[in-house]
Amino acid sequence: MHNNGKDKEKRMIRSIDKQFKEFQNKLGIQFQNEKLLKQAFTHSSYVNEHRRKPHEDNERLEFLGDAVLELTVSHFLFLKYPMMSEGELTKLRAAVVCEPSLVAFAHDLSFGKLILLGKGEEMTGGRERPALLADVFEAFIGALYLDQGLQTVIRFLEKIVFPKIDSGAFAHVMDFKSQLQELIQRDGAGLIEYKILQEKGPAHNREFVSRVSMNGKELGIGTGRSKKEAEQHAAQMALEVLKSHT
């Protein structure tokens, strides 16, 4: 019986090792210290149930990863949005590194499958618990930073996180109208005017089309579910046009 237990444990360890190997291949990242990678996915409940083996949970890595994420995302936003005020940058960064965003990134990479959990935690659905997934994403960033440094973390974020910022996933917290105003005022270039060109669709599903112009010259056109959203999108278009000309 005792041997059966040992064999079962060996099989389990082999299966876990195989999963982590496949995971690294999928990401195109090979950890020099695989213990760090495993630690990033080790929940405290697992450690409590495997006391005979010295496992470490991911809480300290999560602490480090949180800081590394703040720094790398701040750096990216600082360079990408030269017109943004400190307050707006802070708001945007908060949206990128908040729990629901981290959970979405973790889901994209199927992190849930790899988490090492205690039986009780497993039975109560810990694998899908948002706080736990967000913690694992931060711990992974911490482990990657320790293992391979900041540049590798940035390359990883360039694949997973930054494209989402580029595609406008966080546009709801960005104020493009005030950025445009700031840019125009800084250059002393003239007067900005917004005009709703069109309202279409039924009352429950309206779509507005807005144009922003400067001194009568069209800068951008945007659509949205409300006048405000359409104006924000028009301002976003205008910013892209103006920046491509500078």
- Looking at residue 246, what is its pLDDT? 61
- Looking at residue 6, what is its pLDDT? 72
Which one is catalytic: 57, 62, 138, 231? 138
Query: What is the pLDDT of the chain when averaged over all its residues?
Result: 90
Rg of the chain over CA atoms, in angstroms? 24
Q: Which amino acid is at 91?
A: K
Residue 23 has pLDDT above 70, yes or no: yes
pLDDT (tens digit, 9 = 90+) per residue, 142-175?
999 999 999 999 999 999 999 999 887 887 788 8
Say how many C-beta atoms besides its own lie within 10 A of residue 24's C-beta. 14
- Dihedral sign, CA of 171, 175, 180, 186? negative
Task: Please confirm, yes or no, whether 207 is among the known catalytic residues.
Answer: no
Task: Please confirm, yes or no, whether 138 is among the known catalytic residues.
Answer: yes
pLDDT grade for 245, boundaries at 50, 70 and 90: confident
- Looking at residue 171, what is its pLDDT? 79
Q: How far is CA 116 from CA 5, 119, 132, in A?
A: 19, 10, 11
Residue 2 has pLDDT above 70, yes or no: no
pLDDT (tens digit, 9 = 90+) per residue, 38-56?
999 999 998 888 876 667 9
Q: Tokens 């697992």 — which residue? A: 46
d(CA 112, CA 185): 48
DSSP letters, 151-208, are HHHHHHHHHHTHHHHHTTTTGGG--HHHHHHHHHHHHT---EEEEEEEEES-GGG-EE
Which one is catalytic: 66, 88, 147, 175? 66
Q: How far apart are the first and last CA of the chain?
A: 75
Distance of CA 163 to the CA centre of its chain: 9
What is the arithmetic mean of pLDDT over 166-190? 82
Tokens for 218, please give them. 């069209």
pLDDT (tens digit, 9 = 90+) per residue, 6-16?
777 788 888 88
What is the arithmetic mean of pLDDT over 22-33? 95
